[in-house]
Amino acid sequence: MRLAFQPDEQQTSRLDSLRARLDGLIEVGSWECEDVLEHDYRMADTVDCIIYYVTGYLCRNIGKKTVCATCRDGLIKQTGFCGIPEADLVNCKTRGKLIHLNLNIYYLLKATEKEFAKQPSDNCVYNKTLDHVLLTYLFMFSCSLHKADVMAKVLHYYICMRMRQHCKQQRQKEAKKSQEMRKRSKLVRVALCFTVTFLLLPESLLQLLGLVRFQTTLSCLAAWLGYVHLESRHCHIY
């Protein structure tokens, strides 16, 4: 995820464009921390816990580069323990240093993740996700001066992080599939060699062993294995 925070000309251009689109869409509102009930019996989905955890990391990195105290307060809620179900993963891993983000940021990126997950392999997933979120989600941020800049960074870095993560997962799946095809191809080659060797035995020896009918069966098997071997090589190439 750290790669998402590296400076890049293309990222800078996208951020500038996103800031322009966000300017005017974000309402200035108070983002004070809401009181949390002593017991919250809702069961948080695993994905929600992961989004909450990753979003906290993202907000922390953006907050480090933000000098405005109002902006930092709009990104970060508290450290330590938080009682909402979505914070369970952070509560388990924290040693007093992990932050709990402002819930408005979490809800924004939860909506972003939901839209991104619909079309992660689309070549235009970045723009399509942004378009949908900008049209359907009501933005609120506490700092009127830097609202567009901060929210643009939040959306941009999260979507870029998810795109890199998705590409990595796809590469791992392809590598695993290729490895499995190589194993199958090797097994077919071994079985084919054994069958051909057996078929080349002298007929007299086969008669002596009473395996003439078995040889006929192996002939059919050899033809089938040859076909499977060709198909395996074809799949491996593609």
Same domain, 41 and 142: yes
Same domain, 51 and 85: yes
The pLDDT tens digits of the residues spanning 179-207 come to 888 887 777 777 777 666 666 655 555 55
Domain final position from 171, 194, 216 = 171
- Which residue has better confidence, 118 or 223? 118
Task: Report, as an integer, the average pLDDT of 50-73.
Answer: 81
pLDDT at 184: 79
Evaluate if residue 28 carries a pLDDT over 50: no
Q: In the structure, what pLDDT confidence band is assigned to residue 32 with cuts at 50, 70 and 90?
A: very low
pLDDT at 133: 86
Q: Percent of the chain having pLDDT more than 90?
A: 0
Mean pLDDT of the chain: 69
Same domain, 50 and 162: yes
Domain residue limits at 153 = 2-171
Q: Helices in 117-211 by DSSP H: which ranges?
A: 125-136, 147-199, 203-209
Same domain, 162 and 218: no
Same domain, 134 and 222: no
Same domain, 81 and 197: no
pTM: 0.59
Domain final position from 171, 199, 222 = 171
The pLDDT tens digits of the residues spanning 75-116 come to 776 655 565 666 666 666 665 566 667 778 888 888 888 888
pLDDT at 69: 83
Evaluate if residue 219 carries a pLDDT over 70: no
Same domain, 178 and 96: no
Same domain, 163 and 184: no
Same domain, 44 and 151: yes
pLDDT at 22: 55
Same domain, 216 and 228: yes
The pLDDT tens digits of the residues spanning 155-173 come to 888 888 888 888 888 888 8
Domain final position from 125, 140, 171 = 171
Same domain, 221 and 105: no
d(CA 118, CA 106): 19
The count of domains in the chain is 2
pLDDT at 2: 45
Q: Which range, 134-138, 195-199, 225-229, is most confident?
A: 134-138
Burial of 144: CB neighbours in 10 Å, binned 0-12, 13-18, 19+: exposed
Listed in sequence order, the residues at least 6 apart from 150 whose beta carbon sits closer than 8 Å to its beta carbon are 62, 66, 71, 74, 75, 141, 143
Same domain, 129 and 77: yes
- In the chain, the amino acid numbered 31 is W
